[in-house]
Chains A and B, each alone.
Chain A
Amino acid sequence: DSGVTQTPKHLITATGQRVTLRCSPRSGDLSVYWYQQSLDQGLQFLIQYYNGEERAKGNILERFSAQQFPDLHSELNLSSLELGDSALYFCASSPRRSPFYEQYFGPGTRLTVT
């Protein structure tokens, strides 16, 4: 158990809909990262927040957005969903801004778009 929690565990929705994925980092961790893992793309970094502010952006679509709240939990919002958005979405946290080896991953949310 990494100490990172993600809800919901599974999500099934239809194309065109909007969903929100939630992540609670480990106690005291200031950085939150979001990743997408699909069968054909592998694990891809989406976005990072540090202490409430966006710090780094990866391959995140404009239909996706995220935020980190004062209590440090984070939400990833996915809108106008397409079939290709079906994937595992992982959140990771770390105590500082950038150490690579200190990313602790949550169990993931499996999103299925039908």
Chain B
Amino acid sequence: DAKTTQPTSMDCAEGRAANLPCNHSTISGNEYVYWYRQIHSQGPQYIIHGLKNNETNEMASLIITEDRKSSTLILPHATLRDTAVYYCIVRVEWDGSARQLTFGSGTQLTVLP
């Protein structure tokens, strides 16, 4: 799976958009970009994923650059409850192997009142 690079921490004002970047310059053509988050010591929570096109759901938007070497997760109106560690993961959807999800260090997002 492609390696990802994320900032260690970020702050965001409550009510503002939070933009979390992720670099994945070695991404392969069949690898998806996934975002999960983990609120302190709770189980990780799936947010969004995409391959090439930008994606949006009720939680967030995912913007993937045209060359797919980086992406940005956007929380449009951050709230205090969005304070969490956000993980960007790049991997194939299914490649017939037994490899599974392994999280890196992620970005600690702190939403400030």
Contact = CB atoms under 8 A, between A and B. Distances in A.
A92 to B, nearest CB: 7
Interface of A: 2, 4, 33, 35, 42-45, 48, 55-58, 88, 90, 92, 98-108, 110
- The interface residues of chain B, by DSSP majority, are classed as loop
Interface residues of B, number: 21
A101 B43 contact: no
B7 to A, nearest CB: 16
A88 B43 CA distance: 9
B103 A100 contact: no
B58 to A, nearest CB: 15
B100 A101 contact: no
A90 to B, nearest CB: 5
Interface string B80-113: 0000000000010110001111111100000000
B93 A106 contact: no
Contacts of B101: 33, 35, 43, 45, 100, 103
B102 A43 contact: yes
Most buried by B among A45, A101, A102: A101
